[in-house]
A = this chain, B = another copy of it.
Amino acid sequence: MNNNHLYFNNVFLNNTSSVVGKKEFEGPLSSAFDLYSNDEYFGKSSFEEAESEMVRQNLNVLFKKAQKLPTDIDYVFGGDLVNQCVATSFAIENYQIPFIGLYGACSTAIESIICASVFINGGFAKNCVGVTSSHFCTAERQYRFPLEYGSVRTPTSQNTVTASGAFLISNTPSIIRIKSAMIGKIVDKEITDANNMGAAMACAATNTIKRFFEDGNMKTEDFDVICTGDLGYEGHSIAREMLNLEGLDIKTEFTDCGMLIYDKNKQDIVAGGSGCGCVASVLAGHFYKLLSNNKIKNLLIVGTGALLNTNSALSGRSIPSIAHAIHLSTEA
């Protein structure tokens, strides 16, 4: 028990949208995103309001692309990193759609897709939206230091991505199926360095990927890409090593959204990207495009979240982490 896959029948990823900041738009995936803002305030007067505005813009793009009205959506599932997830609630309140608030740190995007898939497959909904966001400036001042300090970063620290990704999950057939999911267990390997969250999350990613391949009947080579959420360079190499030690040799492309979103050589991002918007925007932009254009057929995407807060980190407590995985496929 409780190591099982969730298998879905006739649940589809119908559409996606993504809005990003300047730095993300200057990265290698720029053409995959729907909208970007040069202004980190998104025209608002605080970073927190900016993040909500980014989510609102993203939902408006999604509804436009999918030709849906808010009244067509049964439930929205979402959350973000701002304390008490207020970036999401201030954004969602405009649409009057029943809302299920989630918190899984940077794994929230994948968590939202899984919950939406269960509601749809169970016959409780026809069209659901999953949406998450993160903003460099809200995260930096909440988790680290005021931006004005210009703090130097450690070599393993990651850059919180300014981005939002939104997903329309539906029982209406489309090319991309949400075939199965593996919900994460909280893993705590007593890692305490809040500037090395990739290492903490790598343990959770390893646990979930291992359980995914142990329980199901798929092999790693059945996937075109296996992609973790936002481990960054440091965490991703740890995950690869841990999986090898666990006897799981990944025989396909194994990458990470936090590595894909920036150009390591040209952009000053240290260990890669992170944040709720990282896996959300890379999946909604880059991978949705690859799947839609039949460049890849099977994707295992593993959202990873570090379940710390500022006080737990400052008081030297460990960083519990979690990872949720979904299998997206263009095959029946």
Residues of A near any B CB (own CB < 8 A): 1-2, 4, 6, 46, 48, 70-75, 79, 81-86, 89-90, 92-93, 96-105, 111, 115, 118-119, 121-124, 183-188, 307-312, 315, 317, 320, 322
Contact = CB atoms under 8 A, between A and B. Distances in A.
A-B interface, 6 closest residue pairs, ranked by CB to CB distance from nearest: A122-B122, A89-B307, A84-B309, A98-B183, A93-B186, A103-B103
A75 B307 contact: no
**Identical copies of this chain, number:** 2
A98 B309 contact: no
Contacts of A103: 79, 84-85, 101-103
Contacts of A104: 100-101
19 contacts: A2-B98, A48-B311, A82-B309, A83-B84, A83-B309, A83-B310, A89-B307, A90-B312, A93-B186, A93-B187, A93-B320, A96-B185, A98-B183, A98-B184, A99-B183, A103-B103, A118-B122, A118-B124, A121-B124
A74 B317 CA distance: 28
Nearest to A306: B84
A89 B186 contact: yes
A199 to B, nearest CB: 16
Contact of A2 (B81, B97, B320, B322): B97
A309 B86 CA distance: 7
B122 A311 contact: no
Contacts of A84: 81, 83, 103, 105, 307-309
Given A75-B183, A317-B90, A102 B99 contact: no
